[in-house]
């Protein structure tokens, strides 16, 4: 009788981040294929810092009876497979690595972090990158490492939406009736996400046409960097001062509520977002803390948001972009390597390099509904063909079985 494979997943598990989405999918893949998983968050490992990193992980391996380890994020998780007591401690089992994005795009710029990432890659039985660009970055650090490329898959429910139900999908022209046209930017509030990248240009454009169309930008994201968030909120406050004096008091009230809620780090409620949507004098650019994934996807599916934006300086592979494509919401994304690996400009989405470029793309989209229909159809087909969770599952299950058993 063959033994049941058990895999220990070690990952940052911060809400509303890509790592958490990846962990959820991997657990679903393994569960569907009779592979046991145990999840250990980075925050759990940080609690017992008197022990060597490797000793702590070995203890969890013993407790969970795991045959192998799968790490998500080469720095945040990777440091726990490297001996920290200078006694050359070794892991009891082999490990594989899934790159996040910030590890290879941002963390390697820091000398000490880069050393850890390099050691983590060199010790891994295999490493997985979402794009060829990330693979290139990894092999530059460790030329002899086995680095495989596998694009992220969709969640199973979303994949069903754009595959099994493709024939029943009905395109809905966008005709707002006293409702604002909302471009949504889902991102945590930190430097790498650059949340105000298009905000000034958006504000100028939206304010100039507000007597004709109520166009708004909604930034949904939790505070992850307190220093950066202070700058973000200050800049957002300055932007809001450009709005008309007639609505200053009401908008100030909204802004204060959002700031307080953001600092607490609590998910935004239906009431907060919907009150802003229904307020004819609501801020042109508004920030609320992140919604739960279920709530956010529900609003996307219900057509509350006209388009989704990505402004990141760098990405691994954006789950939010793939989710929007599969649901039928147009994506406008910053022209960076990861986004270019998903989006062909003008075919299944739009790419922009600056705020002015974004506004031009947005104007074009609003004035050309047949183009919007074509983009939505192409994006849904692309997601179905290239981001199947079933294919992703086969890849990871086969790799785990061949490596850890």
- pLDDT score at 178: 60
Q: What mean pLDDT is predicted for residues 113-121?
A: 97
Query: Which of the two residues, 305 and 169, has the higher pLDDT score?
Result: 305
92 close to 120: Cβ distance less than 8 angstroms = no
Tell me: pLDDT of 2 over 80. no
> Per-residue pLDDT tens for 66-85?
999 999 999 999 999 999 99
- pLDDT score at 172: 54
Q: Range with the lowest mean pLDDT among 27-36, 127-136, 162-171, 362-371?
A: 162-171
Percent of the chain with pLDDT over 90: 68
- pLDDT score at 164: 57
- pLDDT score at 169: 46
> Per-residue pLDDT tens for 219-239?
999 888 888 999 999 999 888
Backbone angles phi, psi at 343, to 5 degrees: -105, 130
How crowded is the C-beta side of 120, counted as CA atoms within 13 Å?
A: 32
Q: Which domains does the chain have, with CATH numbers?
A: 6-153+388-404 (3.40.50.2000), 158-386 (3.40.50.2000)
Closest CA relative to residue 319, chosen from 347, 353, 288, 296: 296
Q: What mean pLDDT is predicted for residues 166-174?
A: 48
- pLDDT score at 246: 35
Q: What is the sign of the dihedral through the CA atoms of 162, 168, 173 and 179?
A: negative
Q: Which residues contact 14 (CB under 8 A, 6 or more apart)?
A: 20, 188, 224
Tell me: pLDDT of 141 over 50. yes
Measure the CA–CA gap between 362 and 310, rounded to whole angstroms.
13
Tell me the CA distances in angstroms from 182 to 113, 237, 273, 319, one per residue in order. Answer: 39, 20, 11, 20
- pLDDT score at 18: 62
Tell me: pLDDT of 61 over 60. yes
Measure the CA–CA gap between 331 and 328, rounded to whole angstroms.
9
Pull the structure tokens for residue 201. 């240009």
Give the DSSP per-residue string, 348-372.
TBEEESSHHHHHHHHHHHHT-HHHH
Percent of the chain with pLDDT over 70: 87
Tell me the CA distances in angstroms from 312 to 22, 133, 148, 219, one per residue in order. Answer: 18, 16, 24, 13
- pLDDT score at 211: 85
42 close to 74: Cβ distance less than 8 angstroms = no
Measure the CA–CA gap between 32 and 26, rounded to whole angstroms.
10
Q: How confident is the model at residue 25 (pLDDT cuts 50, 70, 90)?
A: very high
Tell me: pLDDT of 123 over 50. yes
81 close to 52: Cβ distance less than 8 angstroms = no
What is the CB neighbour count within 10 angstroms for residue 175? 7
Q: Range with the lowest mean pLDDT among 159-168, 201-210, 254-263?
A: 254-263
Mean residue pLDDT of the chain comes to 87
> Per-residue pLDDT tens for 254-289?
444 443 334 334 445 545 888 888 888 888 999 999
Q: How confident is the model at residue 328 (pLDDT cuts 50, 70, 90)?
A: very high
């Amino acid at each position: 009788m063959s033994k049941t494979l058990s895999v220990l997943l070690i990952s940052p598990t911060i809400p509303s981040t890509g790592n958490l989405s990846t962990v959820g999918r991997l657990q679903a893949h393994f569960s569907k294929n009779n592979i046991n998983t145990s999840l250990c968050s980075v925050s759990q490992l940080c609690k017992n810092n008197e022990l060597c990193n490797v000793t702590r992980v070995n203890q969890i391996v013993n407790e969970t009876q795991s045959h192998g380890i799968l790490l998500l994020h080469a720095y945040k998780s990777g440091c726990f497979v490297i001996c920290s007591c200078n006694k050359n401690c070794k892991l009891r089992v082999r490990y594989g690595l899934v790159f996040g994005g910030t590890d290879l795009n941002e963390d390697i710029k820091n000398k000490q972090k880069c050393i850890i990432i390099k050691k983590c890659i060199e010790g891994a039985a295999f490493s997985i990158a979402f794009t060829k660009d990330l693979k290139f970055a990894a092999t530059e650090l460790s030329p002899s490492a086995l680095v495989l490329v596998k694009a992220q898959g969709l969640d199973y429910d979303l994949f069903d939406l754009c595959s099994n139900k493709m024939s029943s999908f009905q395109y809905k022209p966008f005709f707002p009736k006293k409702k604002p046209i909302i471009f949504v930017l889902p991102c945590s509030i930190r430097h790498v996400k650059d949340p105000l990248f298009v905000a000034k240009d958006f504000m100028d454009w939206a304010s100039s046409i507000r007597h004709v169309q109520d166009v708004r930008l909604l930034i949904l994201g939790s505070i992850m960097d307190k220093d950066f968030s202070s700058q973000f909120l200050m800049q957002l406050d300055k932007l809001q001062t450009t709005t008309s004096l007639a609505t200053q008091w009401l908008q100030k009230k909204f802004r204060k509520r959002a700031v307080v809620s953001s600092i607490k780090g609590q998910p935004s409620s239906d009431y907060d977002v919907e009150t802003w949507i229904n307020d004819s004098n609501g801020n042109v650019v508004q920030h609320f803390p992140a919604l739960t994934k279920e709530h956010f996807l529900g609003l996307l599916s219900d057509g509350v948001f006209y388009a989704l934006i990505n402004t990141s300086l760098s990405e691994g592979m954006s789950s939010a972009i793939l989710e929007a494509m599969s649901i039928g919401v147009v994506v406008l994304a910053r022209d960076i390597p990861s986004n270019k690996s998903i989006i062909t400009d003008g075919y299944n989405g739009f790419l922009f390099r600056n705020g002015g470029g974004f506004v031009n793309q947005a104007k074009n989209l609003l004035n050309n509904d047949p183009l919007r229909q074509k983009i939505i159809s192409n994006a849904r087909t692309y997601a179905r063909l290239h981001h199947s969770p079933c294919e992703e599952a086969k890849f990871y299950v086969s790799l785990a079985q061949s490596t850890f058993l």
